[in-house]
Amino acid sequence: MVLTIDIGNTRIKGAVFECDILIEQFVFEKKELQKKIENIFQKHQKISDLVIASVGNLSKSDFLAFENRLKVHFVSHNDAFPFINKYETPHTLGIDRMVLAAGAVLKYPKQNRLVIDAGTCITYDFIDAADNYLGGAITPGLNLRYKALNDYTSKLPLLELKTPKGVIGDSTAESIHSGVVNGLVYEIDGFIDKYKQLSLNFIIILTGGDADFLAKRLKNTIFANSNFLLESLNQTFQYKIKND
């Protein structure tokens, strides 16, 4: 069994896999790390490997305490990945984006792929049918957009995510919801339409914490899978074992 851990900017997500089968998944706050992982180990005592991808600020030492009971693996730029990295600054490419790209290549071979990760930030990553990672884009996610309106103005309130009534907001709150939600939906559809001008045939994978919320609002056909990063982390680890 493998326990995959994704340390994001706001939360930690984890999943237990038996080969390629997802057995159970978890979401918890960073302050709960030690307790939660101990509970997972007690529940799934056959876990032999802990695989970690991090864009957050937790130290490796937070996980090394578990080395006496299983193998701990930190995904890094030096690992084997199933694509050619054409990024101009390859060592600045986020590990989460690399794992998502790897998962797209392994799950959808010999296809053009666009991976959209809707989390704290929205990331767009394009990998062509020849398995060349070409790059993409980074923009603020839904919660960041709400927070920015509150942080950088004197009177706009901080609101929680809500489906807008329509395009025309009839109050300040509704105007914010319309601008944030509709604005992001139009952005994503706009990016997809632009990619279509560059490559007529490609699949679109939407993942991240806001994937399910956004999926039903997009005009384009997509594969929505909020667990795609955790699944990709497991697949990347299996690929690494075979190719080290």
Q: List residues with catalytic annotation.
A: 96
Q: Rounded distance, CA 120 to CA 87, Å? A: 22
Q: Is the dihedral of CA 119, 87, 99, 84 positive or negative?
A: positive
Q: Could you tell me if 127 and 134 are in contact, meaning their C-beta atoms sit under 8 angstroms apart?
A: yes
Nearby residues of 166 by Cβ (< 8 Å), 6 or more positions away:
178
Count the helices and strands in the chain (H runs, E runs): 8, 11
Instruction: Give which of 96, 49, 78 is closest to 228, Cα–Cα.
Output: 96
Q: Is 134 helix (H, G, I), strand (E, B) or coil?
A: strand
Give whole-number Cα distances, 190 to 137, 165, 166, 219, in Å.
13, 22, 19, 10
Nearby residues of 76 by Cβ (< 8 Å), 6 or more positions away:
95
Q: Which two tokens stand for residue 227?
A: 């667990």
Nearby residues of 88 by Cβ (< 8 Å), 6 or more positions away:
135
Q: Helix, strand, coil proportions of the chain in percent (round to 5)?
A: 40, 25, 35
Q: Rounded distance, CA 32 to CA 70, Å? A: 20
Rounded to the nearest 10 degrees, what angle do helices 95-107 and 228-243 cross at?
Answer: 80
